[in-house]
């Protein structure tokens, strides 16, 4: 079933990943405390489902953006208005705000994987040079006499690593697919933080290991989200598998190089 799901969901990341020393994507947004009240979220520019629905109920005919926001934001209007004015947005313009539901399809690229970024992830997780050099081998075995490394040694090292490299490529591909599936699910997640025009609301923090935090914007909405290991436990397991295979590859090459001492 998982294989079938992966075939259907060949998606990739639309936000650039940065990685820590363990190979985990670092969050792009600062995390804030969870479980804020509706009013607290509104102060920060965030909206719960009920507040988002207010956009659909506003009579936009002939109304300025300012008048529409006055109805939507209610008691938070004054605080948010100052931020809007500082941003340089024309509040007197007759802009028709669109509901999140109306622009949902437009946000799909933010929750899918583009080919360029998929390659970036695979390159990171596979962690193998385009071609082996003497510098690369010395980095694995500092005691190696560089003068002994010729083309035949480089070719032999490639041959030694080849079987494990094939395993790494297969498992890294599975890992990226799993991350992609998790990312695609966030568009309908209750933990998707939305903000109308203002900067994205703080991501909801629930504790546990955070795998990835992303953000984006479409039409008059901005959003961010966080992917947690507890919701997708197969991802850290797959990362551990890839990590162990890369360790195996290093040890195999080092064992080969020890024969040259």
Task: Output b/e per residue, 190-219; b: 16+ Cβ within 10 A.
Answer: ebbbbbbbbbbbbbbbeeeebbbbbbbebe
Whether the Cβ atoms of residue 16 and residue 117 lie closer than 8 Å to each other: yes
| Total-model pTM | 0.68
Nearest alpha-carbon partner for 260 in 143, 139, 131 = 143
Mean pLDDT on 107-135 = 92
Whether the Cβ atoms of residue 229 and residue 211 lie closer than 8 Å to each other: yes
Per-residue confidence band for 11, with pLDDT thresholds at 50, 70 and 90? very low
What are the pLDDT digits (tens) for 77-89?
A: 787 777 777 777 7
What are the pLDDT digits (tens) for 176-213?
A: 999 999 999 998 888 888 777 765 555 666 767 888 88
Structure tokens at 220: 């008059």
Residue 36 has pLDDT above 60, yes or no: no
Domain boundaries, the chain: 2-19+32-46+109-258
What are the pLDDT digits (tens) for 251-261?
A: 999 999 999 88
List all residues 6 or more positions away from 99 whose beta carbon is below 8 Å from its beta carbon: 52, 53, 55, 56
CA torsion, points 214, 218, 221, 227, in degrees to nearest 10? -20
Mean pLDDT on 131-138 = 94
- DSSP 8-class letter at 50: H
Per-residue confidence band for 45, with pLDDT thresholds at 50, 70 and 90? very low
Question: According to the model, what pLDDT value does residue 52 have?
Answer: 54
């Amino acid at each position: 079933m998982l294989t079938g799901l992966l075939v259907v969901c060949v998606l990739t990341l639309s936000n650039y990943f940065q990685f820590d020393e363990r190979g985990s994507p670092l969050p792009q947004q600062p995390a804030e405390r969870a479980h804020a009240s509706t009013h607290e979220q509104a102060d920060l520019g965030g909206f719960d489902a009920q507040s988002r629905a207010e956009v659909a109920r506003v009579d936009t005919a002939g109304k300025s953006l300012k008048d529409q926001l006055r109805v939507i934001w209610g008691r938070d209007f004054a605080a948010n208005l100052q931020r809007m004015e500082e941003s340089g947005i024309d509040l007197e313009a007759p802009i028709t705000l669109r509901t999140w539901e109306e622009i949902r399809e437009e946000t799909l690229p933010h929750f899918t994987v583009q080919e360029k970024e998929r390659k970036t992830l695979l390159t990171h997780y596979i962690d193998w040079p385009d071609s082996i050099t003497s510098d690369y081998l010395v980095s694995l075995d500092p005691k190696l006499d560089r003068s002994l490394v010729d083309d035949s040694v480089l070719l032999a090292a490639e041959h030694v690593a080849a079987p494990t490299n094939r395993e790494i490529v297969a498992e890294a591909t599975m890992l990226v697919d799993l991350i992609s599936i998790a990312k695609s699910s966030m568009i309908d997640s209750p933990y998707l933080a939305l903000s109308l025009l203002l900067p994205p609301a703080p991501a909801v923090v629930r504790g546990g290991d955070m795998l990835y935090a992303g953000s984006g914007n479409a039409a008059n909405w901005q959003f961010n989200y966080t992917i947690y290991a507890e919701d997708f436990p197969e991802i850290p397991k797959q990362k551990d598998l890839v990590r162990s295979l890369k360790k195996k590859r290093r040890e195999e090459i080092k064992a080969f190089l020890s024969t040259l001492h």
